């Protein structure tokens, strides 16, 4: 009995010792495996030609915008266009009631015919007097008076002819033709209304859409670059939408203004777009890009790889299994790539594009994709 109690005590002590060892074994922290580096994505540096653009907000301006006005006063008889219609140069767009003017023209022609007949009769009398004076049948005074009568009648006929021509012009003004090829705007006067000659309101506005032009302002500091570009040949100008996503039209630089705006320090520039079609609309705001230069075969990196710090821009370059911080001077961008100036990186080096926000100079990294 005494021995069984001793054996029981020994068993209990063994169980307690095992439990204590097990408890402390589970609670002891396990050793971490050595770090393999943060996973990152890297892209190789490459060479390419990078265009240098000057960006500015521009306004589409039509080549010509003409207000169609009547040159004679009268009732607007008809409007021969549809709003928004494309018309050609010389196409009839409106007519003024010309009946009164045609009546005046007929009267003027009658007066002209009468005075021409009087002139012919006076010229015949002058011819007879010149023959009669040779035989003494008429006096010199009579001959001179008849000669003056002929000259007077010549003046009357000339005045009559001028009146006829003037009325013919006025009658022609009753048929109003488009002075340009373009798009007709909304009708400003309805048929049946009286229109006055030279009215500033007009009947409609016709806008010449092709070629379209875009006017924008560039900083005066860019004038040197623009002059150098113009010296090499035509300068490309691109027109994008407000979001700078969609290219609307491609054109060329047409002209620079002749002075700097002292209040803004900018110079107005005009680009011409010959094949814009309906992509550019008058008074539309667009983002203009003027191609000032092209950097030949420069190192480029993804724009995502460029970090910005207090001391300037930098990238992380993969060197072995570590990230090396490399200061750079960023240049112009082309799509998703940015040029690196002054040899900040070398062709073929791997720059980190994803995962760089957690890195320091010398951090261990593991490239998971390229």
CB atoms < 10 A from the CB of 250, how many? 15
Report the pLDDT averaged over residues 98-110.
95
Residues 81 and 68: their CA atoms lie apart, in Å, by 12
Residues 281-306 have pLDDT tens digits of 888 999 999 998 888 999 999 999 99
Would you state the structure tokens that stand for residue 332, as one six-digit string? 């112009």
Please report the domains of the chain, with CATH numbers, ordered by start residue.
40-50+296-369 (2.40.420.20), 53-63+207-294 (2.40.30.170), 98-173 (1.10.287)
**DSSP type of residue 283:** T
Of residues 3 and 70, the one with the higher pLDDT is: 70
> Using alpha carbons only, how large is the chain's radius of gyration in Å?
46
- How distant, in Å, are the alpha carbons of 220, 261, 354 from that of 268? 10, 8, 42
Residues 246-258 have pLDDT tens digits of 999 999 999 999 9
Residues 306 and 322: their CA atoms lie apart, in Å, by 17
Residues 166-200 have pLDDT tens digits of 999 999 999 999 999 989 999 999 999 999 997 88
- Specify the length of the chain in residues: 370
């Amino acid at each position: 009995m005494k021995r069984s109690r001793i054996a029981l005590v020994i068993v209990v002590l063994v169980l307690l010792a095992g439990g204590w060892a097990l408890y402390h074994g589970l609670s002891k922290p396990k050793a971490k495996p050595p770090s393999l580096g943060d996973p990152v994505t890297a892209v190789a540096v490459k060479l390419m030609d990078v265009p240098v653009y000057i960006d500015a907000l521009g306004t589409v301006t039509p080549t010509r915008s003409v207000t169609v006005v009547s040159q004679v006063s009268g009732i607007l008889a008809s409007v021969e266009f549809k709003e928004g219609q494309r018309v050609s140069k010389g196409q009839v767009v409106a007519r003024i009631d010309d009946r009164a003017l045609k009546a005046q023209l007929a009267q003027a022609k009658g007066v002209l015919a009468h005075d021409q007949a009087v002139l012919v009769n006076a010229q015949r009398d002058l011819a007879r007097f010149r023959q009669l004076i040779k035989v003494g049948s008429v006096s010199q005074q009579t001959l001179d008076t008849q000669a003056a009568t002929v000259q007077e009648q010549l003046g009357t006929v000339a005045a009559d002819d001028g009146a006829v021509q003037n009325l013919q012009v006025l009658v022609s003004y009753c048929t109003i033709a488009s002075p340009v090829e373009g798009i007709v705007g909304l009708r400003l006067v309805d048929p049946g209304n009286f229109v006055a000659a030279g009215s500033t309101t007009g009947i409609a506005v016709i806008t010449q859409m092709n070629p379209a032009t875009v006017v924008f302002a560039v900083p005066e500091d860019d004038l040197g670059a623009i002059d150098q570009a113009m010296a090499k040949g035509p300068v490309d100008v691109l027109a994008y939408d407000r979001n700078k996503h969609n290219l609307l039209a491609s054109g060329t630089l047409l002209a620079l203004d002749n002075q700097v705006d002292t209040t803004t320090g900018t110079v107005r520039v005009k680009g011409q777009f010959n094949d814009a079609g309906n992509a550019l609309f008058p008074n539309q705001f667009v983002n203009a890009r003027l191609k000032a230069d092209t950097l030949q075969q420069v190192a480029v990196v993804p724009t995502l790889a460029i970090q910005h710090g207090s001391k300037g821009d930098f990238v992380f370059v993969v060197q072995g299994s570590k990230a090396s911080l490399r200061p750079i001077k960023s240049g112009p961008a082309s799509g998703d790539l940015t040029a690196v100036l002054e040899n900040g990186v070398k062709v073929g080096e791997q720059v980190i594009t994803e995962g760089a926000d957690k890195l320091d100079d010398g951090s261990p990294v593991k490239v998971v994709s390229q």
